[in-house]
């Protein structure tokens, strides 16, 4: 069984300040973890993924996430927010090996103030 | 360019009518998925297909039907039995349902029941 919890439904930051979007997961097996971004009325785009290689994963647009097994977390960070980062972000968990349908978090809306 | 297309972008339906949403991919992916998105509820899985001529119900399949006669196509029919069909519908594909595979998403179809 697997589940994912995004700890904040909304995060508000000022442009140029750091971004932290929090994600905790639960998985009976070795997890694969993903972050996707969705701009309004658009499809989802992959930001980054973890599949049991390096625990610090770098993605597109300056985002990165760190897999922490002891904390069952996969938080998304960016050093400096840009106005174009304003969007909905989804954390997703699946299981390495076998056949498993990904489980989505409920999403975090990132608001960026000028 | 490889990718997923969904049509139409906007769709209006009268109550009691069936309507079919199109999803096509040219990524040569085996697995395809349909999700429904409502504000504040993240993505909910309607149906998925791991291979041609086979598909499985997701979490909210009631009132929906699908077919998978060709690898590249996975149309979704919203039937009159679906009590609250107004939503944003997203189609996705992946190489397979093995956990390490990321999903690629289409741009979505917004369905409104009048």
Picking from B41, B105, B107, the nearest residue to A106 by CB comes out as B41
Residues of B within 8 A of A98 (CB-CB) are 98-99
Identity of the residue in A36, A43, A100 whose CB atom sits nearest the CB atom of B106: A43
Which of A36, A90, A96 minimises the CB distance to B100? A96
Q: Cβ contact (<8 Å) for B103 and A44?
A: yes
Q: What average pLDDT does the segment B41-62 reach? A: 94
Q: Of the segments A48-52, A101-105, B23-27, which one has the largest average pLDDT value?
A: B23-27
Selecting from A34, A41, A107 the residue whose C-beta is nearest the C-beta of B42 gives A107
pLDDT at residue B1, rounded to an integer: 60
What mean pLDDT value characterizes chain A?
93
Q: What is the pLDDT of residue A98?
A: 63
**Residue A99: what pLDDT?**
65
Burial B67-105 (b: 16+ CB within 10 A, else e): ebeebbebbbebeeebeebebbbbbbbbeebbbbbbbbb
Least reliable range by pLDDT among A87-91, B4-8, B98-102: B98-102
The pLDDT, as a whole number, for residue A97 is 67
Residues of A whose CB is below 8 A from B42:
90, 104-107
Contact: B107, A43; criterion CB under 8 Å? yes
Q: Which residue has the higher pLDDT, A77 or B84?
A: A77
Q: A-chain residues within 8 Å CB-CB of B100?
A: 32, 49, 51, 94, 96
Residue B4 touches chain A, beta carbons under 8 Å:
yes
What is the pLDDT at residue B83? 87
pLDDT of residue A30: 84
pLDDT at A80 over 70: yes
Q: Tell me: the pLDDT tens digits for A21-73?
A: 999 999 888 889 999 999 998 999 999 999 877 899 999 999 999 999 999 99
> Considering Cα of A33, then B5, then B44, then A83, what sign does the dihedral take?
positive
Could you tell me the maximum CA-CA distance found in chain B, to the nearest angstrom? Answer: 41
Furthest-apart CA pair in chain A: how many Å? 45
């Amino acid at each position: 069984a697997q589940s994912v919890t995004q700890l904040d439904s909304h995060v508000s930051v000022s442009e140029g300040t750091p971004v932290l979007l929090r994600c905790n997961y639960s998985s009976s097996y070795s997890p694969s973890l993903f972050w996707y971004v969705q701009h309004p009325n658009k499809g989802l785009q992959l930001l980054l993924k973890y599949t049991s290689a390096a625990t610090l994963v770098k993605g597109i647009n300056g985002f990165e996430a760190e897999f922490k097994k002891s904390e069952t977390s996969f938080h998304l960070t960016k050093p400096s927010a840009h106005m174009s980062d304003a969007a909905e972000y989804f954390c997703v968990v699946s299981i390495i090996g076998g056949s498993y349908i990904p489980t989505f978090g409920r999403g975090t809306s990132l608001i960026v103030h000028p | 360019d490889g990718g997923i297309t969904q049509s139409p972008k906007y769709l209006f339906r009268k109550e009691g009518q069936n309507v079919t949403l199109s999803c096509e991919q040219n990524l040569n992916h085996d697995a395809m998925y349909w999700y429904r998105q409502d504000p504040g509820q993240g993505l909910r899985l309607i149906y998925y297909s791991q291979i041609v001529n086979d598909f499985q119900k997701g979490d909210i399949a009631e009132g929906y039907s699908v077919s998978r006669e060709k690898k590249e196509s996975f149309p979704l029919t919203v039937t009159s039995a679906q009590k609250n069909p107004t939503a944003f519908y997203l189609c996705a594909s992946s190489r397979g349902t093995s956990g390490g595979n990321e999903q690629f998403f289409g741009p979505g179809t917004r369905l409104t029941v009048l």
